[in-house]
A = this chain, B = another copy of it.
Amino acid sequence: MMPTSRDIRARNRRLLLQHIVAQPAVSRPALAAATGLSHATVGTLAAELLDLGLVAESGYEESAGGRPRALLTAAGADGRLIGVDVAETYVHAELFDLSLAVRASAAAPLHPGDLTPDTVVDRIAAAVDAALARGGAEPGSVLGAGVSMPGQVDRPGSDHATIGYAANWAWQDVPLTARLAARLPYPVHLDNPLRACTAAELWFGAARGRNDAVVLNLGTGVGAGLAVGGEVYRGSTNSAGEWGHTTLVLDGRRCHCGARGCVEAYIGAAGIMRTLRERAPRSLLLSPSDQTATIAALGRAAAAGDKAANDVLAETARYLGAATADLVNLLNPEVVVLSSWVAAALGEPLLHKLRPEVRARALPRPGAAVELALSPVPSNPVSLGAAAFALEGALAPAAPKSRRGTRS
C-alpha cells in the first residue's frame, strides 16, 4: 500500500502538533516557516487542531507593524492523555496534559500468578483510575490512553488491536483493546515498549526533529526501535526492530529464542551477567538471581574504577559496538539513542567505551554521520511514548471517537 491523501493529511496534522508541543507557544507564520507547509495549509490544520481541542490560543505576539499574531499552545488545552507501561512485574499509569507533561502517576504490581487477560485488564484499569484521581481529572477530559504491552501487538492503533503473543503470560491472540475498551471510556491505543520508547525519543528525546533514528532498548531483552522520516517504523506486521535476535556470532552463545549467537545473548542483561561470570566467576558484583542489582552494581563499580567491572564493560562495549555498527552501516541513521534500564545503569562509562568500538566498525560516511547519545527522557519513556500514541490517535482521521465533531 502506498500512502494516500488521508495518510498525508494525518501526517501534516501530526507534524504541526509536534512543532506546537515542542514550545510554550508559537504563531501560525512561525509554524509555516518551521514545517514548510503553506500558510493556507497551516491555517486549515490549526483550525482542525483547535476544533479537536488539542491546542488552544494563548495571547498574541507583537509583530513589527502588522496586526498581532495569535499564539497556539498545547499546554493551554484542557484535554488529558494516559500512558500505561505494562511489564512482567508491574503496571505504571501516568496522566499527561496535552503538552505531554506528567500530571500524576500510579502503579499496581503484577504477580507471577496474575496470568489472565482479565487480571491484567483489572490492574491496568485500577492504575489508570488511581492516576486520574490523583491528577484530579475527569474521565471525560481524557482524549485517549496508550497502553504498552510486552509482546507482539497486531493491528496497533485500531479498535481490534490484539496481543498476538506475550511470552510472559503465554497469551495468544488476545483482543486486548476490546477488553480494555469495556473499562476505559476513551480510545485505547495498544503497542509495545520498543515502539513506545521510539515515540518518546521522537517527540521529546534525542531523536526529536530527526528523520532517521534508532533507539536501542537495552534491558532484559534488547531491541532497536526504528524511526524513518520522523515516524516510528513498524514493518509489515508491527514486528520490526528485533535486533536482539540478529546474529552477532554465527554458532555462538545459545539464545533463549532457540537460535545461536543472537545479539541479545551478549548484551541483554543476562548476557552481560554471563560475561561477568565468565571473566570473574566469584565477583561480588554478581547477584545471581537479580539482574537489576547486578547491572546496577556493575555500573557503580565501573564508574568507581574497578578493573574487573571495566573489563566486563569493555567486552560488552565490543559486542554492543559491533551490533550498533551493523545498524549504522545498514540504516545510516542520524542518531542512535541508548534507552531503557541497562543503558541508564551503565550510562556514560559504557557510552565512553562504545564510541571507539562503533567508529572502528562503521564505514566512514555513515560512521561520521551518526551521533550516539544516552536517552535524555527524564520520566518513564514507555508511558510517555504510549501517551504520544494516544495523542497521535486523537489526530488520525479514522480515530474511533473524538470529543468534538470535526474530522476530515
**Which residues from chain A sit less than 8 Å from chain B, CB to CB?**
1-6, 8, 11-12, 15, 18, 35-38, 41, 152, 164-165, 209, 211-212, 224, 226, 228-230, 233-243, 245-250, 252, 257, 259, 319, 322-323, 325-327, 329-334, 360-361, 363-366, 368-370
Nearest Cβ on chain B to A407's Cβ, whole angstroms: 15
CA distance A18 to B2 in the complex (A): 10
**Are A365 and B239 neighbours in the complex by a CB distance under 8 Å?**
yes
**Are A247 and B8 neighbours in the complex by a CB distance under 8 Å?**
no
Which residues of chain B have C-beta atoms less than 8 A from A41's C-beta? 5
Which residues of chain B have C-beta atoms less than 8 A from A330's C-beta? 224, 226, 240-243, 246, 327, 330
The residue that A233 contacts in the complex, of B6, B12, B228, B361, with Cβ under 8 A, is B228
**Are A15 and B3 neighbours in the complex by a CB distance under 8 Å?**
yes
**Are B1 and A5 neighbours in the complex by a CB distance under 8 Å?**
no
A35 in contact with B235 given A240-B331, A242-B363, A322-B247 (CB within 8 Å): no
Nearest Cβ on chain B to A218's Cβ, whole angstroms: 16
Q: Apart from A5-B36, A165-B364, list 11 A-B contacts with CB within 8 A.
A: A2-B211, A2-B229, A4-B37, A5-B12, A226-B331, A234-B332, A236-B332, A247-B361, A249-B250, A327-B330, A330-B330
Most central of A11, A209, A235, A257 by chain B CB within 10 Å? A235
**Are B250 and A248 neighbours in the complex by a CB distance under 8 Å?**
yes
CA distance A5 to B9 in the complex (A): 9
Nearest Cβ on chain B to A226's Cβ, whole angstroms: 8
The residue that A212 contacts in the complex, of B236, B248, B369, with Cβ under 8 A, is B236
CA distance A370 to B240 in the complex (A): 12
A212 in contact with B239 given A35-B2, A250-B249, A330-B246 (CB within 8 Å): no
CA distance A238 to B365 in the complex (A): 9
Nearest Cβ on chain B to A284's Cβ, whole angstroms: 29
Q: List 29 A-B contacts (CB under 8 A).
A: A2-B36, A2-B229, A2-B230, A3-B229, A4-B35, A4-B36, A4-B37, A5-B38, A5-B41, A6-B36, A8-B8, A8-B12, A165-B365, A212-B235, A224-B330, A226-B330, A235-B331, A235-B333, A237-B365, A237-B368, A237-B369, A239-B363, A241-B332, A242-B363, A243-B329, A246-B329, A247-B361, A248-B250, A250-B252
CA distance A1 to B5 in the complex (A): 20
Which residues of chain B have C-beta atoms less than 8 A from A237's C-beta? 332, 365-366, 368-369
Residue of B nearest to A238 (CB): B332
**Are A247 and B245 neighbours in the complex by a CB distance under 8 Å?**
no
A236 in contact with B369 given A246-B330, A250-B322, A329-B242 (CB within 8 Å): yes
**Are B5 and A11 neighbours in the complex by a CB distance under 8 Å?**
no
A323 in contact with B257 given A37-B5, A233-B228, A242-B329 (CB within 8 Å): no
Which residues of chain B have C-beta atoms less than 8 A from A327's C-beta? 330
Which residues of chain B have C-beta atoms less than 8 A from A18's C-beta? 2
CA distance A360 to B230 in the complex (A): 33
Nearest Cβ on chain B to A247's Cβ, whole angstroms: 5
Q: Nearest 8 pairs between A and B by C-beta?
A: A235-B332, A4-B36, A246-B326, A242-B329, A240-B332, A239-B332, A239-B366, A237-B369
Nearest Cβ on chain B to A85's Cβ, whole angstroms: 22
Nearest Cβ on chain B to A97's Cβ, whole angstroms: 23
CA distance A226 to B228 in the complex (A): 12
Residue of B nearest to A41 (CB): B5
**Are B212 and A245 neighbours in the complex by a CB distance under 8 Å?**
no
CA distance A2 to B213 in the complex (A): 13
Which residues of chain B have C-beta atoms less than 8 A from A238's C-beta? 332
**Are A236 and B250 neighbours in the complex by a CB distance under 8 Å?**
no
CA distance A226 to B322 in the complex (A): 21
Most central of A4, A38, A323 by chain B CB within 10 Å? A4
The residue that A236 contacts in the complex, of B38, B211, B249, B364, with Cβ under 8 A, is B211
Most central of A152, A247, A361 by chain B CB within 10 Å? A247
